Amino acid sequence: MKMRLDKYLAHFGLGTRKEVKSFIRKGLVKVNDIIIKKDDYKVDLDCDFICFNDQKIEYRQYVYIMLNKPAGCVCATQDQVHRTVIDLIEGYDHYDLFPVGRLDKDTEGLLIITNNGDFAHKLMAPKRKHAKLYYAVIDGIVTEDDIRKFKEGIYIGDYQCQPAQLTVLAIEENYSEVYIEIYEGKFHQIKRMVQATGKKVVYLKRLQIKTLKLDPHLESGRYRELTDDELFDLMKDL
Ligand code: URA
């Protein structure tokens, strides 16, 4: 595949089209060890060896990022009022990133950010039934009856949920810590499932999607690209 040199460098995230044109004119870009000063030079992505400031750069069509979403920002690409999850990601301006699925503004934890629409669709499509694991703090005491209702598939007013798994981690005087695993992703699903048992979610954090676990070293608001192994496992049987 062939592409204009300035487009290639901009797509790689080196700067705007205008900025990369100036890098090219300054002689900072080499193709196969030869300085190229023409921004419309066509590079062959399959075989050309491209360097910026003597550092090799490789074209990537898609990127896959794990974000530990903080509370307070919204899962959208743009918003007039709130900070979006995309606003948190720096250095990927030319990739047209978007969040895979949605977490509520006050929900924290694992969010995948990518520019691969097909991957996002397959990962989130309800009929594919990929598991999503959440940690929740619930105002109220979770009972055996609640666990059974989740297992059977709880009715949330306008929707019959698929069977889900509710696991109690701790019961305190008036609240419960639980894991909840669901295989679909309706709007406010966990909060509405818990509400259907007469209780309220007061804290919610997503820990896992399919095989991908939230990196425990990733602080709230921080992100990193998925490793090859993580991506391989996620893509398997998608
Ligand atoms: N379920 C919810 O209620 N909220 C989320 O953010 C995710 C799942």
The tokens 């794990």 sit on which residue? Answer: 66
Pick the atom of ligand 1 nearest to 191's CA: 3
Pick the atom of ligand 1 nearest to 104's CA: 6
Q: Please write the tens of the pLDDT for every residue from 144-173.
A: 999 999 999 999 989 999 999 999 999 999
Spans of the chain below 50 pLDDT: none
Instruction: Give me the amino acid identity at 12.
Output: F
Residue 46: predicted pLDDT: 84
Other beta carbons within 10 Å of 38: 12
Contacting residues for 178 by C-beta, under 8 A, at least 6 apart:
135, 136, 137, 138, 142, 166, 167, 168, 169
Q: H or E element: which one contains 121? A: helix 117-124
Q: Is 111 in the pocket of ligand 1 (CB under 6 A)?
A: no
CA-nearest residue for atom 3, ligand 1, is 188
* DSSP string covering 16-70: -HHHHHHHHHTT-EEETTEE---TTPEEETTT--EEETTEEE---S--EEEEEEP
- Look up residue 128 and give its two tokens: 């594919």
Q: Would you name the residues annotated as active-site residues?
A: 104
Question: What residues pair up with 234 in beta bridges, in sequence order?
Answer: none
Asked whether the beta carbons of 144 and 197 are under 8 A apart, the reply is no
Residue 122: predicted pLDDT: 95
Question: What residues pair up with 69 in beta bridges, in sequence order?
Answer: 109
* DSSP string covering 154-218: -B-SS-BPPP-EEEEEEE-SSEEEEEEEESS--TTHHHHHHHTTT-EEEEEEEEEETTEEPPTTS
Q: Please write the tens of the pLDDT for every residue from 32-63.
A: 999 999 999 999 988 999 999 998 887 788 99
